[in-house]
Amino acid sequence: MLGFFSFTEVTQPSAHRPYNEWHRLDHMPEQFSLDGVLFGQRWVCTPDCREARVAVSPLLEPCHYMTLYLMRDAGVLPSFFDLAERLRQADRFFADRRAHLSGPFEVRDCWVSPRVKVSAAAVPHRPTRGIYVVVGPPVDGAAMVAHQGVAGAWSFANTATADTATGPSLDRHITVAFIDGDLATTASQLGQWCLQHAGHGGTMEWAGPLDLLDRVNPVDTDSYDWFDRLTPQ
């Protein structure tokens, strides 16, 4: 199984609402028409989440959103990229965005908290309050799910086709912890744990929470207002 990640910056401060409308109502639904796309979700690094990060690299610092698609295997990628090209040709891509880290990562392991009834494989499909993401060195997911607010965690390692502004990095890992407790409280605990334990295997490129987009009505673009207070009037 693969996870296809995109860490994305919206390059115009006033473009968050149209970007979210495009992604949620046009772009992401099309991905589920592809055989082998098993899951898709996108989260937002709100100003509060940005302040809660304990590590970020220059590459990922500008990113506002993270998207994750789960795919059956690498055989899905040709149709995935073909769909992207067809949408571009149809003028159905969003211009004011930049993906700073994008590409397929192999699923390496998954864990579930003992208090959660579903299997580790089912955790991404379970309702959550957000996620905590660590990019860079491998992370002990078993230790992450020991925290009270963590339902489960999945780890990924990038393939040779992962794309970044600096080229592929063969030792980059991404660990996603699915949070069903209070996001701010759990993120604070995980941040302290990361500072103590997660950086020993290499430099952390990102360690911090991402919030749900589903807190708003999925068709109510007036609610995409996380960054409005940062936009010059």
Model confidence pLDDT, tens digit, residues 175-195: 999 999 999 999 999 999 999
Q: Residue 162 falls within a domain, yes or no?
A: yes
Could you tell me if 188 and 130 are in contact, meaning their C-beta atoms sit under 8 angstroms apart?
Answer: no
Q: Which residues contact 164 (CB under 8 A, 6 or more apart)?
A: 59, 100, 101, 102, 103
Q: Which pTM does this prediction carry?
A: 0.91
Q: Residue 130 falls within a domain, yes or no?
A: yes
Q: Residue 190 falls within a domain, yes or no?
A: yes
How far does Cα 148 stand from its chain's mean position? 21
Q: Residue 150 falls within a domain, yes or no?
A: yes
Give the domain range for residue 165. Answer: 2-217
CATH number for the domain including 200? Answer: 3.30.70.100
Site of tokens 């979210």: 20
Q: Residue 232 falls within a domain, yes or no?
A: no
DSSP-assigned letter for residue 208: E
Query: Total domain count for the chain?
Result: 1
Angle at 44 between CA 41 and CA 47, to 5 degrees: 170
Q: Residue 39 falls within a domain, yes or no?
A: yes
Give pLDDT tens digits for 106-143: 999 999 999 999 999 999 999 999 999 999 999 999 99
Q: Residue 229 falls within a domain, yes or no?
A: no
Q: Residue 37 falls within a domain, yes or no?
A: yes
For residue 221, is pLDDT > 70?
no
